[in-house]
Amino acid sequence: MARLSLAACAVAFHLCLLVSSSASLRWLSDKPAAVTTAGGVRTRSAYHFQPAKNWQNDPNGPMYHNGVYHLFYQYNPLGATWGTGNLSWGHSVSRDLVNWVTLDTALDPTAPFDSNGCWSGSATILPGGIPALLYTGRIGTGKGMQVQNVAFPKNPADPLLREWVKPAYNPVIPLPADVPGDNFRDPTTAWVGRDGMWRIAVAAKVGGPNGIASTLIYRSKDFRHWKRNTLPLYTSRAAGMVECPDLFPVAEPGVEEGLLGYVSGTVSGTVRHVLKLSVMNTTQDYYMVGRYDDAADTFVPELDNERILDDFRTWRRFDYGHVYASKSFFDMRKNRRVLWAWASESDNMDDDIAKGWSGVQTVPRKVWLDGDGKQLRQWPIEEIETLRSKRVVGLLGAQVNAGGVNKIVGVGAQADVEAIFEISSLEEAETFEPNWLLDPQKLCEEKGASVPGGVGPFGLLVMASGDMQEHTAVFFRVFRQNDKYKVLMCTDLSKSSTRDGVYKPPYGAFVDMDIEAHGGIISLRTLVDHSVVESFGGGGRTCITARVYPDHVVNGNSHLYVFNNGTGAVKVSSLDAWEMATATVNVLPDGLIAASSVSRAQAY
Ligand SMILES: *[C@@H]1O[C@H](CO)[C@@H](O)[C@H](O)[C@H]1NC(C)=O
Ligand SMILES: *[C@@H]1O[C@H](CO)[C@@H](O)[C@H](O)[C@H]1NC(C)=O
Ligand SMILES: *[C@@H]1O[C@H](CO)[C@@H](O)[C@H](O)[C@H]1NC(C)=O
């Protein structure tokens, strides 16, 4: 193994310990053996989590336990496609949520109650510090039948919790009579209610094939015998089926700390909660802020004027790009709520098979309730910044005039970019048409980066080829609506790749902020990671993650630009860009053991 530099040491502390302590370090190749196309290597993420090879989808059971972060994920050990019936729980551990050690699969479809797949679920740390996994077992062929199972660590004293045991008394929750077999899944982390009993939420379609998308509550005294509440936590007629529910408490508006919440007493009527549902019909994650009524075990959304209960298009989303099946956990180490989400590939299955892998996770994001009490804010966890290596101070106070494009030298396909834009005057804002409200994505399509406007489009061009034939535009555009302004944020993929067979939509959403009250100032942070462009607009009010597959990466470099195609001038009041180091995401476990045999003090 090559020697790590001191800088890399500071970044990847457990690897440093490895170097100083163990000569027998083995690596899983970061480049899957099956890769024959150059694109497969060049599009592989450098700091977004992905296993060494094969398929991954939903993040499962994230937790922080005994000084170690655990991430489980839906994983097909047999290949780069979904493989319905073969899904296992992949398992990786970390001390910093950035660098990961890969372990053997934690759950495999080997028991009668999960013979056709170990599907998504959650982790709960029981009193006494024993973690429990709840997951969906899929039985039988065809559409199969779904049940809920529990698993415990074989040896709770193993710091890495490598082996998991599925008790023979599973399933702990059989399929209910009023739910079609393939519509009952994804148990949440459990919490304790007022009556001292455990509760979990499970997604189900209730009442036959045309049933209602429901989030059912089950209660238990002993984590083994579960009984369904008569009332669901939440139902919606707007969606055929929902998946991966997530219910979590948030602190007061504007307070960035997270709440554990799932402890008796704190889940009171005064704390706001967030309910997230993954809607199958659109494969998008939606959330609502509201109250969890812990007497009735129901969720009551707090609606503002623009949100309509039975129309999911009006719900807010964690991410308006290409992510699904998100899951959050409370990180006790830093008192924050952290969100993971799956960003699937958007090229095509043949490419996935050729490159030998499919799917990445977004960077872990801190989530909190905005000062307005209505929307969530998200920001990459601060640990990601340990990967910032070369800093490129770009434009400071530079004006980007109409049609202007400024190149930021030294930043390419693996970067973290933070820009603050200052709009000189809102005078030129185009007039907003109310019928645009429900379809910002379409608006981004009609008014892409190359359609000149009044205030904007302005923003970043990332993953740009030298000749600019390929580029991904992440930008804002401001409209006037009566005496207010509306900020549109887009990630426009139409020029992202010259390749065919690649999904190149525009993504878009409004940024819920009063740009005038903010003095015309708006920020944009974009994480560029080869095939991932993950953006946080307006301080994390609006997030858009896209997957891109530019052709130029095969034998050319990628570049970064700032642009403005509006008639009004825009000042870049600050722009910081860093080249990002590569995280070590697939180290084998003897590494970590070697690490922990060295003085622990060194690791913190
Ligand atoms: C599971 O894997 C086996 C072996 O590769 C394969 O034959 C089978 O089709 C897979 N099953 C499903 C449901 O994907
Ligand atoms: C799901 O989507 C399809 C196609 O867009 C639509 O026709 C159908 O009504 C949707 N179903 C529900 C329950 O929303
Ligand atoms: C800006 O607009 C001009 C004119 O439509 C276009 O040629 C140019 O490509 C646009 N810039 C970007 C970044 O799309």
pLDDT digits (tens, 9 = 90+) for 43-67: 899 999 999 999 999 999 999 999 9
Dihedrals phi, psi of 600, to nearest 5 degrees: -65, -30
In this structure, is residue 43 part of a structural domain? Answer: no
- On whether the CB atoms of residues 449 and 475 are closer than 8 A, the answer is yes
Instruction: For residues 293 and 258, state if they share a domain.
Output: yes
Residue 127 is part of a domain; what is its CATH number?
2.115.10.20
Instruction: For residues 324 and 247, state if they share a domain.
Output: yes
**Residue of minimum CA distance from atom 11 in ligand 3:** 450
In this structure, is residue 604 part of a structural domain? Answer: no
Instruction: For residues 156 and 57, state if they share a domain.
Output: yes
In this structure, is residue 117 part of a structural domain? Answer: yes
* Omega before residue 457 within 30° of 0, cis: yes
Instruction: For residues 186 and 221, state if they share a domain.
Output: yes
Q: Which two tokens stand for residue 515?
A: 């740009």
The whole-angstrom separation of Cα 527 and Cα 462 is: 10
Boundary-marking domain end, from 362, 379, 402: 362
Quick one: average pLDDT of 182-196? 94
Dihedrals phi, psi of 590, to nearest 5 degrees: -60, -25
Checking if the pLDDT of 463 tops 60, the result is yes
Name, in order, each residue with C-beta under 8 angstroms of 8's C-beta and a sequence gap of 6 or more.
15, 16, 581
473 CB near ligand 2 (under 6 Å): no
Residue 153 domain boundaries: 49-362
Q: How confident is the model at residue 395 (pLDDT cuts 50, 70, 90)?
A: low
- On whether the CB atoms of residues 560 and 407 are closer than 8 A, the answer is yes
Active-site residues, by number, are 58
In this structure, is residue 597 part of a structural domain? Answer: no
In this structure, is residue 378 part of a structural domain? Answer: no
Domain tally for the chain? 2
Instruction: For residues 130 and 277, state if they share a domain.
Output: yes
In percent, how much of the chain has pLDDT > 70?
A: 89
pLDDT for 228-269, tens place per residue?
999 999 998 877 899 999 999 999 999 999 988 654 444 455
pLDDT for 123-177, tens place per residue?
999 999 999 999 999 998 888 899 999 999 999 999 999 999 999 999 999 999 9
Residue 268: what pLDDT?
A: 54
In this structure, is residue 67 part of a structural domain? Answer: yes
Q: Locate the DSSP E strands across 495-594.
A: 506-511, 521-529, 532-537, 542-547, 559-564, 570-580
**Ligand 2 centroid, distance to 281 Cα (angstroms):** 6
Q: Is the dihedral of CA 484, 490, 495, 501 positive or negative?
A: negative
Q: How many whole angstroms from its chain centre is CA 384?
A: 14
Instruction: For residues 293 and 405, state if they share a domain.
Output: no
Instruction: For residues 126 and 186, state if they share a domain.
Output: yes
Instruction: For residues 407 and 469, state if they share a domain.
Output: yes
**Ligand 1 centroid, distance to 76 Cα (angstroms):** 10
Checking if the pLDDT of 5 tops 50, the result is no
In this structure, is residue 353 part of a structural domain? Answer: yes
Instruction: For residues 333 and 471, state if they share a domain.
Output: no
For 328, the enclosing helix (H) or strand (E) is: strand 324-331
For a mutational test of ligand 2's pocket, the pick from 243, 281, 439, i.e. the residue with the most ligand atoms closer than 8 A to its C-beta, is 281
Residue 591: what pLDDT?
A: 63
Instruction: For residues 287 and 246, state if they share a domain.
Output: yes
Quick one: average pLDDT of 13-20? 28
283 CB near ligand 2 (under 6 Å): no
**Ligand 3 centroid, distance to 494 Cα (angstroms):** 13
Higher pLDDT, residue 407 or 274: 274
Residue 540 is part of a domain; what is its CATH number?
2.60.120.560
Boundary-marking domain end, from 318, 346, 362: 362
Measuring from each residue's beta carbon to the nearest atom of ligand 1, which residues come in under 6 Å?
Answer: 78, 83-86
HEC string for 28-87: CCCCCCCCCCHHHHHCCCCCCCCCCCEEEEEEEEEEEECCEEEEEEEEECCCCCCCHHHC
In this structure, is residue 21 part of a structural domain? Answer: no
Instruction: For residues 441 and 556, state if they share a domain.
Output: yes
Instruction: For residues 538 and 449, state if they share a domain.
Output: yes
